[in-house]
Structure 1
């Protein structure tokens, strides 16, 4: 039996570039409230932006459609699903075409070759992509509170006048 989230925030936006920022802002607010670090919040925003932009650019090919963004809030992680009901694609084929990144290629050719997928997988702890009757991108980021705490001096050890 799978663990139930503490809360679920569900957002539906038009599949248009102008609305991707709303998804980024919502995820940023949720992650901030959960206690994610600044860097992790930036990673979350970029990964969600890439998933939504892929849906805008590829799922509906400029036509009408919607993107569903669900944020499953757990005590130790945020699980985000970005769902479109547009054109599916073969994830393994895109990853195979992506290959290693070479500096002589332009950024436009990188974006066409799967840079968004690469970024999502690099920035998030877990990424799963299913392409059946649309695309479902599931991304998970764990809260790393111990990383910050282990590098911060306690207030009792700080003496500015010594």
Structure 2
């Protein structure tokens, strides 16, 4: 992505489940200030939560560590980096294991198969994952101003009486 960000917000949290909500709240506040829609803010929060939870669950394997969340604020988009310095993984292997979801497995089994990566890619406009001395997840969401949500009726759908 090109251009220089207008602002940069950095947050470092312990790689513990109790702190993932702080990253969600920070991203929510930034996205709200930027003018994202409610639905897009919810998507951003879930994607950030998945990236942070992956770091908590897989990067440090219960040991101590930190997760860095960086929000690069542009006029038309928000780019979020979630970085850990723990165990890396092979994204191609995760994507091969991610297939149709079958009835029966627990959520932990689904998470092991790459459901978090699938969700991040479904919710964001662009996701890039690199594993080198940890994992760097870069996610981008564009602001869609002037776009009417599909579940909202436009004013032209009402008839004048």
TM-score of the aligned structures, taking structure 2 as reference length? 0.91
After superposition, what is the alpha-carbon deviation per residue over 1:87-111, rounded to whole angstroms, capped at 9, x for unaligned?
Answer: 0000000110112222343333211
Counterpart position of 1:75: 75
Task: Kindly provide the CA deviation profile for residues 6-53 of structure 1, in whole angstroms up to 9, marking residues without a partner as x.
Answer: 100000000000000000000000000000000000000000000000
Map residues 124-143 of structure 1 onto 2, 5 A cutoff.
124-143=124-143
Counterpart for residue 19 of structure 2: 19
Q: CA RMSD in A?
A: 2.0
Aligned residue number for residue 117 of structure 1: 117
Distance of 2:8 and 2:125 partners within structure 1: 19
Question: Would you say how many aligned residue pairs link Structure 1 and Structure 2?
Answer: 158
Give 5+ residue unaligned stretches, structure 1: none
Q: 1:128-158, CA deviations, whole angstroms, 9 ceiling, x for partnerless residues?
A: 000000000000000111213895438xx89
Separation in structure 2 between the aligned mates of residue 158 and residue 70 of structure 1, nearest angstrom: 47
Name the SS of the counterpart of 1:22 in structure 2: helix
Structure 2 counterpart SS, 1:145: coil
Q: TM-score, normalised by structure 1?
A: 0.90
Partner-residue secondary structure (3-state), 1:117:
helix
Higher helix share: 1
2:58 corresponds to which residue? 58
